[in-house]
Structure 1
Amino acid sequence: MKKYFYNDEGYSLLIVLLIISIFTILILSFIRISASTTKQNIIVEDNFKSAALAEMGVEFYTTAIENELEKLSSVAENAYNTYIANVSKIREVTQTDIKNAIDEGIKAAFNSLKSKLESDLIQYQNKIDIGSNYGQFSITPDPSLITFDIVNKIAEIKFVSTGIQNNVEESIESTITINFGTMNRTSSHDELISDPDPNNKYSVCIPSSSKNNHEGYSNISCKFDGERTFTKQTSISYSTIKITGSAKFPNKIGISNSTLYVSGDFSDGNGNDAIIKSNIFVGKNAVFGNLNNSKDVIIVVMGNATIGNIQGSASNVKICVHGTVTGGSSNNSGVKIYDKNNNPEAFEENGACIGNSSGDLIWDVPFFDKNYSYNYVKQN
């Protein structure tokens, strides 16, 4: 019988080599994954920085445009005066001429801005370096995308802001709207209460006191953007408060030596404290509780108004409503309530609800809508 002898030393070497190979592959894979992860992190970080730089470019360019708007009132006024002067050399100026002159002023203002965007401001197409370690941004305003709706007097400006970080780019397409129709106003036939912040420059209101069930505003001029509900009992003294939307006061409100300007609706669910030496403007409809004991008050409502009692020692209270009035019971001769349907003469020239003013045409800075929308543009 034959005998076979086996030697397994070769197999041991093979196993050792296999283990070394596996570990080598694992280590190399780990190094490759780590390098790839680091690279991906760098790319993500650069993308984030580029997007932030693009947003910075949007703010930079909108500020540059806003600064140009400050110069347009004088441009519009000069064009208006020139038109009127030329007409007056030929014949007496009519209301139609005045309207045409206003349109000429607005068109001159827009053309002046457009010219700036196409020339001086075009320099922002060059890359603007904000520091060697912080990247760059550039602005690309397209002159063909600067449009003007002459009927509604609304201009649109479209541009692209591109942020650049380590050759990684992110772009934002932006649209800005400018309302040139807000540029002119006449001081004749003005309402008794005018917009205290026509150029929308007031800062956001912060209560001077807000504790327990009370919210107070004293010695400030400020605004609330959009609708505002005052959940606490509210007092306003020696202040001017503008609310660009509607205002709701479920609890009582006391106003003294102040102006409350509400662009939307006004509602006061539980009735007012006395209003003293103050003005209230409501751009739409209003619901007032009782105004008992109020003194030296002017209220202007551009829509309809529902008014509670005005009793007690109320005096020198004038309420002008452009729609219809419901309620408003008062046995006090010091309270005068006018609505345009029943008292049209009060809203005509020299009427009780018309301000006493000089009749000059006033040119303001056009309203600049900074609530533009922007969309990220995917880079190839």
Structure 2
Amino acid sequence: MNKLKNNEEGYALVTVLLIFTIFMVLLLSFTGQSFSSMKQNQVVEKKSQAVALAEMGVSYFQSLINNIYVTKKNNEVKLAIEDYMGDNPGLSDAHYKEEAIKIMKSAILNDLNEKKKVVDNTAGISDSFIVPVNDETGGTFQIDMEPLPAGTPIDAVYIPFKITGNEDGKTAILKGTMKLDITVTPASSSSSSIITITEKVFPTLNELTAPTITNNACKNPGSILESCTDILVDTRSVETKGNNKGALLPYGLIDGNNNGENKKSVFSTVPLFISGNGNHMKSVDFLSTSTGNMTYGSNIKHVENLTLKSMGSITFEQHFEPKASTVYAMGSLIANMKFYLYNGSFVYVNGDARITGSHTPIIDNSIMCVRGDLSTPGTISPANGGQLIVLGSINNIKTPYTESQFLDLCGKTVTRNFNPPTIDWGDNISREVEYIH
């Protein structure tokens, strides 16, 4: 009986111990799961906070850009675009749109760089800056400027970015693009924003047009007639002397001396040869749209207010001594004897020039411009405000002038009106955002 009782007590102890063990295992298991769950919740919470910080960074960045845009669009950006269109008139609307996008984006990025220096003193030298949000946990978001992807269309202002939210060692990254739309409206004839442009251009003589001659005696007369104020030479002349009498000459001819002629105009559409002396002429024009040669076979001395314009070349076989006169040669210029410029005369040679005289004075504010090269065995002496301006070389020695300097000094001043297109920007900055991790 006692033995049976002892056995029962032993079984009871084992049972109690077994139950206690099971309860301890379950308790430890539940406790471990509880701690693990708490840890996971903390990780998820920190990750969620990092995501929230990144989203906060996107909104902050959008607001920052929008404030800059609103401040700049009607001030420095508008003025910069207007200045560009004024300095570069006549280009396509698509070109102005691209340039406006560049100007606006540059203004935004420059101002962002200044903002970075305020928010993060170390950020002025990089393309990113960190904005602190929570001092207790060290929560921040970092804004990084991203490169524009290849193939991005030039139809709006695009600013790619990456925002990284940081919370207690956990990060979340959002990537996206801020976009500012732009619309270019072509100018209308009724627009009130017409800009007057004054600029220098290289002469072309495209403005030369043949006069309408009603008096047939003033068409191809062979000489300057007293009865003709305007003369038109539009056919080649016929040889009237010697063995070749009746042969067609390679030029139109103005024969005989023209000394003392006053207020006459000769217009030629063919190469022109003026054979006689033209001394003491005043206010006489010789104009030619031919790309051939305009040749003066005899002296032109002591002339005043003479105008010579040729789409081709000009040759002076004898002395040329003008006062207050103008010469334009779109081809070359050859002076075989004296070539003196007085009293504010102006000579422009679009090609090369050759002066064979031993001495060439350019005086009294006279100017000689040669876009090509100049060759001369003698000396050229600008004095009393006279100038010799050669873009190419003088006797194979390159001059110091650049093309822009030559244009500024020798170009023709023209004024024209330019009606620019209208640039309109979108009302707000839009955004596209992608969650990375």
Decide which structure has the larger Cα Rg and report it: 2
